[in-house]
Amino acid sequence: MKKLLFIIAGGLLLSTSTFAQTNYNLVQEKSQVTVSGTSSLHDWEIDAEKFSGLATITIQDGNLEAIDKLNLTVEVESIISGKRVMDGKVREAFDAKKNPLIIFELNEVTSITADSVFTTGKLTMAGVTNTINLAGAYTIDGNGILSVTGSKQVKMTDYKIDPPRAMMGTIKTGDEVEIVFSVDFSK
């Protein structure tokens, strides 16, 4: 009888921890992805207007316990500055027809603290994939929505992207850009 109770209790514990793992979708209306950089003329900033994400997350008692899967995708054509020439230069630099997406795919979570998460993953831009470290601060609201904010500096040349130039090369974009994200995930 004790053995049977032990087996039943073990089964309940396993089913409870499995149940806690939930699929979350990125809420685009509450999220933002921005890329900023420099040029020989002025600093610039450009927003992504179409992006999506899917994650498998474990939240227990209002605490982030694990992120087992995470994929974020940005549509290159949706990266818009409001300046036609700059938007064209971005699409050209990414070769957007051939490489329409920027993708981050989680490899592993290296650490979770009370308010931060540290990860490694694969970032693919312009058809080139590199492994990066990515950290973010997070909060979980009363409805279970996970909000993560952070930034990552990358060099365009690490992804075989030639920094855009304009005005016959007199205006040059700096090689390093900063990707700033504020994303919300909900069940």
Please report whether residue 147 resides in a domain.
Answer: yes
- Classify residue 72 by burial, with Cβ atoms within 10 Å: 0-12, 13-18, 19+: buried
The CATH number of whichever domain residue 51 belongs to comes to 2.40.128.110
Indicate whether 4 belongs to any domain: no
* Residue 16 is assigned to a structural domain of this protein: no
Residue 104, both tokens? 């981050």
The answer to whether residue 15 sits within a structural domain is no
CB half-sphere exposure, 60, CA atoms < 13 A: 10
| Burial class of residue 148 (count of CB atoms within 10 Å of its CB; 0-12, 13-18, 19+) | buried
Residue 3 lies in a domain: no
The Cα–Cα gap between 99 and 170 comes to: 27
| CB neighbours of residue 75 within 10 Å | 15
Residues 127-161: tens digit of each pLDDT: 999 999 999 999 999 999 999 999 999 999 999 98
Q: What is the pLDDT of residue 84?
A: 83
pLDDT on residue 102? 95
What total number of domains does the chain contain?
1
Q: CA-CA distance, 126 to 97, in Å (whole number)?
A: 10
Q: Which structure tokens are listed for 158?
A: 């690490």
User: Is 128 inside a domain boundary?
Assistant: yes
pLDDT at 8: 44
Domain that holds residue 70: 21-186
pLDDT computed for residue 56 by the predictor? 96
In a domain, 66, yes or no: yes
Assess contact for 126 and 95: CB atoms under 8 A. Answer: yes
Count CB-CB contacts under 10 A for residue 20: 14
Residue 11 belongs to some domain of the structure: no
Q: What is the mean pLDDT of each run of 10 residues along the chain (187 residues)?
A: 43 45 94 86 87 95 93 94 82 91 97 96 96 96 94 95 71 86 96
β-pairing, 116-125 vs 171-172, is unpaired
**In terms of Cα–Cα distance, which of 84, 86, 73 is closest to 45?**
86
For tokens 């329409």, name the residue: 100
Quick: pLDDT tens for 65-82.
Answer: 999 999 999 999 999 887
Residue 22 amino acid letter: T
